[in-house]
Amino acid sequence: MKDLDPLIFFAVFQEMLGPLLWILLVLVIGGTAAFLILLIKEKGIVAKRLVRAELVGLAGGVLALVLMAKVSSSGFTDAGGPADWFLIALVFGLGLIGTAILVYAAAGWKTLLSGQKS
């Protein structure tokens, strides 16, 4: 495998996740767009909302690990080398960050649309 083809990754994820892949892609693209637009509208980050979103993000990291264990044929006890543990940490980190962005954006838009002060 000399070339790194993104379509191969897409095919592997499609095989592993099935229809859930499309839901996750919509969440990633929509959540990121909502977050960026919110940052532009508010002209910065609200610290209190960010801390709350990060705390919820911890649960999102755990849920990402649960999802990883469900869609793969191996479990955490099969992790043998540093590359396996790096991948587990990467999945947790991406779940944490993704969930924090989604929660921050949702809370920000709720506050913005209701007319409340941040």
pLDDT, averaged per 10 consecutive residues of the chain (118 residues), comes to 77 85 92 95 94 96 91 73 84 95 96 80
Helix residue ranges per DSSP H, 5-81: 6-17, 20-42, 47-71
pLDDT value, residue 76:
66
Torsion angle, CA of 15/16/22/27, rounded to 10 degrees? -160
Strands (E) in 16-113, as ranges, are none
pLDDT in tens, 79-94: 777 887 888 899 999 9
- What is the C-alpha separation between 16 and 70, in angstroms, rounded? 10
pLDDT value, residue 118:
59
User: Which tokens sit at 23?
Assistant: 């839901």
Entry pTM:
0.83
